[in-house]
Amino acid sequence: MKTTLFSLVFLFSLGWLAQSAPVRIVLPVETAALRKGPGVELAAANCLTCHSADYINMQPSLVRTAWKASVDKMRGKFGAPIPEDQVEKLADYLAAAYGKPEPVK
């Protein structure tokens, strides 16, 4: 009895799966772009592999030390494959394109 019931449920499940349409997800076309400036190619190669330009555009205006900390966090916490020798150049670009001046001490 259990085998027959299991067989019926199994066959019903297979029939239902065969009739379901595949799920298709269409994402909108990316329209955001990184701001132009020295190092934009570096940012495109290292940042846009994980998130969109909109993600960077939505960030508050940060000082360079905060942008450097953000790049370090992306490398350390999230495993972004940014080479060590490109961290400073990337922080320079982000600070110039999206930053604000460091406060005067």
Using one digit for the tens of pLDDT, what is the confidence trace for 34-93? 999 999 999 999 999 899 999 999 999 999 999 999 999 999 999 999 999 999 999 999
Q: Is pLDDT of 105 > 90?
A: no
Q: What is the three-class DSSP state of 62?
A: strand
pLDDT given for residue 16 in this prediction: 56
Neighbouring CB atoms inside 10 A of 58's CB total 9
Question: According to the model, what pLDDT value does residue 62 have?
Answer: 95
Please check whether the domain covering 31-98 is classified as CATH 1.10.260.40. no
Q: What is the dihedral of CA 7, 9, 14, 19, to 10 degrees?
A: 140
Question: CA 3, CA 32: separation in Å to the nearest integer?
Answer: 57
| Separation of alpha carbons 54 and 66, rounded Å | 19
Cα–Cα distance measured from residue 16 to residue 39, given in angstroms and rounded to the nearest whole number: 53
Question: pLDDT digits over 11-37, tens only?
Answer: 566 565 556 678 888 988 888 899 999
DSSP state of 84: G
Q: Which two tokens stand for residue 59?
A: 């960030």
Query: Is pLDDT at 101 greater than 90 in this prediction?
Result: no
